């Protein structure tokens, strides 16, 4: 039989964001084209038109797209894909399907702001989001979706965020596993990742490919210690929050610590309409949460809420946080401070000595969050020079990502014949590749963006 198979690493190779991979399976004169993710590129390459330039493939030729999870760097260009002529099937798990409209509505604002800064035309608008989410179909963990005769895609729990999936493509018997973003073990809110069997090729993320996370316990101790200090010094603690998963992790830790009387009930302002909407979706899917979290939820003890928590919705409520006396805690998006309400809080509170800024996630080079993490004494926020007098703390144990050792472990567990390392900065990706090659003796490659690799069939 005249068959061939290839992967094009359209985006998300040697970079953390912009996940977008094309698998092409040819049999005689028929080609089946499957996309994995269609994400936004974020951070260092703003204004390089990376989100506005045309796709390197013809969107109208794609048979199906599968989404690994609802983070913007995995879904954020889907409306653009549909606008550009995509008419195939689009699959996501039930939580991802619910999260996508909320997350994409937020992306619309991010890309509009980015386009304005760069004198570009935004790649899509709200109406395009509506058209895109309308065509989503549900896929279920462990249930194969048939794309064409002999070609199936099966999602497995990735243990990363609510509804996240690894995707196992079975193409005429050759099996390719895309990790999307892989969760750490143990995960914090969601059940631990599954290990699919009989994988021939593993296409693995490498966001933390060269680092080992601090433990969850260490980060929890840091968070609770910072809250106690904030209460004792009548200070302000600001936490730039990733609205999807990280915020819910922090809320659930605060909820538990307050119940257990480990911390005083300092007023907490969740100043993120996006995080509020996302948290509501978490409450809708107890079956996608870890057993202990699900048990709390089903018992009527909401793990994401406590009496000293205020959820601010409109701009006025957001502004009014300034007037609330300290001590107080402000959780606001975006997580890397590249947009959202956090920037106004940072401009206001960073010059104050009794402020602590607690970074709780990956900060992409070029982002405001990264500059603060790297110790900048003065930063530019929306045209104003802001002196940084606040203490900057960083907790990396809240990460919903696998770290170096976890990623090597997953490669060992899935036993592929070859590994492609993607979704990481070059340094992290090449480091992980060396580990996998050196420790496991598995052939490994770190592809470049735009590169197409032929995959030998079984």
Tokens 């402000």 belong to residue = 330
Q: With binding defined as CB under 5 A, does residue 175 bind Zn ion? A: no
Going by DSSP bridges, is the β-strand pair 64-66/30-36 parallel, antiparallel, or unpaired?
parallel
Binding segment for Zn ion (CB under 5 A), chosen from 175-183, 200-208, 218-226, 431-439, is 175-183
User: 207 or 239, CB closer to Zn ion?
Assistant: 207
User: 181 or 449, CB closer to Zn ion?
Assistant: 181
User: 181 or 396, CB closer to Zn ion?
Assistant: 181
Q: Are the C-beta atoms of 432 and 16 separated by less than 8 Å? A: no
Going by DSSP bridges, is the β-strand pair 328-332/236-240 parallel, antiparallel, or unpaired?
parallel
CA 425-428-433 angle, to 5 degrees, is 120
Binding segment for Zn ion (CB under 5 A), chosen from 131-139, 174-182, 289-297, 370-378, is 174-182
Taking the complex as a whole, how short is the minimal distance between the CB of residue 161 and Zn ion, in angstroms? 6
User: 14 or 160, CB closer to Zn ion?
Assistant: 160
Taking the complex as a whole, how short is the minimal distance between the CB of residue 72 and Zn ion, in angstroms? 9
Site for Zn ion in 366-385 (CB under 5 A): none
Q: How far apart are CA 178 and CA 166, in angstroms?
A: 6
User: 71 or 341, CB closer to Zn ion?
Assistant: 71
User: 361 or 447, CB closer to Zn ion?
Assistant: 361
Q: How far is CA 276 from CA 129, 245, 311, in A?
A: 20, 11, 7
Taking the complex as a whole, how short is the minimal distance between the CB of residue 400 and Zn ion, in angstroms? 7
Taking the complex as a whole, how short is the minimal distance between the CB of residue 182 and Zn ion, in angstroms? 9
Among 114, 128, 181, 220, binds Zn ion (CB under 5 A): 181
Q: Are the C-beta atoms of 179 and 410 separated by less than 8 Å? A: yes
Taking the complex as a whole, how short is the minimal distance between the CB of residue 160 and Zn ion, in angstroms? 6
Q: How far apart are CA 218 and CA 221, in angstroms?
A: 5
Binding segment for Zn ion (CB under 5 A), chosen from 173-181, 326-334, 373-381, 406-414, is 173-181
Among 11, 14, 71, 345, binds Zn ion (CB under 5 A): 71
Q: Under rule CB under 5 A, how many of the chain's residues touch Zn ion?
A: 2
CA dihedral 256→257→260→262, nearest 10 degrees, is: 170
Q: How far apart are CA 189 and CA 245, in angstroms?
A: 8
SS3 155: strand
User: 244 or 268, CB closer to Zn ion?
Assistant: 244
Q: What is the 3-state secondary structure (H, E, C) of 109-144?
A: HHHHHHHHHCCCCCCCCHHHHHHHHHCEEECCCCCC
User: 71 or 348, CB closer to Zn ion?
Assistant: 71
Binding segment for Zn ion (CB under 5 A), chosen from 80-88, 169-177, 179-187, 414-422, is 179-187
Taking the complex as a whole, how short is the minimal distance between the CB of residue 181 and Zn ion, in angstroms? 4
Taking the complex as a whole, how short is the minimal distance between the CB of residue 180 and Zn ion, in angstroms? 7
Show the tokens assigned to 61: 């030729």
Taking the complex as a whole, how short is the minimal distance between the CB of residue 90 and Zn ion, in angstroms? 18
Tokens 């996302």 belong to residue = 278
**For 309, which DSSP code?**
E
Show the tokens assigned to 339: 């947009």
Q: Which residues bind Zn ion (CB under 5 A)?
A: 71, 181
């Amino acid at each position: 039989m005249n068959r061939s198979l290839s992967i094009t690493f359209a985006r998300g190779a040697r970079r953390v964001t912009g996940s977008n991979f094309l698998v092409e399976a040819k049999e005689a004169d028929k080609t089946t084209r499957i996309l994995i993710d269609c994400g936004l590129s974020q951070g260092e390459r703003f204004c390089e038109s990376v989100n506005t330039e045309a796709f390197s493939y013809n969107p109208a030729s794609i048979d199906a797209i599968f989404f690994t999870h609802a983070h913007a760097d995995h879904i954020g260009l889907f409306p653009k894909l549909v606008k550009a002529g995509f008419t195939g099937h689009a699959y996501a798990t039930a939580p991802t399907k619910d999260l996508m409209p909320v997350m994409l509505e937020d992306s619309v604002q991010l890309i509009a702001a980015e386009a304005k800064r760069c004198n570009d035309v935004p790649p899509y608008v709200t109406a395009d989001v509506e058209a895109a989410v309308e065509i989503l179909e549900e896929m279920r963990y462990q249930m194969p979706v048939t794309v064409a005769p002999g070609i199936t895609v099966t999602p497995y729990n990735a243990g990363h965020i609510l509804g996240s999936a690894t995707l196992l493509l079975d193409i005429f018997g050759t099996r390719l596993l895309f990790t999307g973003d892989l969760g750490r073990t143990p995960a914090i809110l969601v059940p631990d990742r599954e290990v699919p069997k009989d994988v021939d090729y593993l296409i693995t993320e490498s966001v933390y490919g060269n680092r080992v996370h601090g433990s969850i316990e260490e980060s929890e101790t840091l968070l609770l210690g910072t809250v106690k200090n904030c209460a004792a010094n009548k200070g302000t603690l600001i936490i730039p929050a990733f609205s999807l998963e990280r915020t819910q992790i922090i809320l659930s830790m605060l909820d538990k610590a307050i119940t257990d009387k480990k911390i005083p009930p300092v007023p907490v302002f969740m100043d993120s309409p996006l995080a509020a909407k996302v948290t509501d979706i978490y409450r809708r899917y107890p079956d996608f949460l870890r057993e202990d979290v699900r048990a709390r939820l089903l018992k009527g003890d909401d793990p994401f809420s406590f009496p000293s928590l205020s959820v601010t919705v409109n701009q006025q409520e957001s502004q009014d946080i300034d007037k609330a006396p300290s001590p107080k805690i402000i959780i606001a998006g975006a997580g890397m401070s590249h947009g959202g309400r956090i920037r106004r809080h940072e401009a206001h509170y960073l010059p104050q000595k009794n402020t602590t800024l607690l970074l709780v996630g990956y900060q992409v080079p070029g982002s405001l969050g990264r500059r603060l993490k790297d110790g900048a004494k003065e930063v530019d926020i929306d045209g104003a020079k802001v002196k940084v007098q606040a203490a900057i703390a960083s907790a990396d144990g809240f990460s919903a990502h696998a770290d170096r050792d976890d990623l090597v472990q997953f490669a060992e567990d899935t036993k592929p014949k070859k590994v492609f390392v993607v979704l990481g900065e070059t340094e992290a990706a090449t480091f992980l590749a060396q580990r996998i090659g050196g420790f496991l003796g598995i052939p490994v490659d770190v592809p470049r963006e735009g590169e197409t690799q032929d995959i030998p069939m079984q």
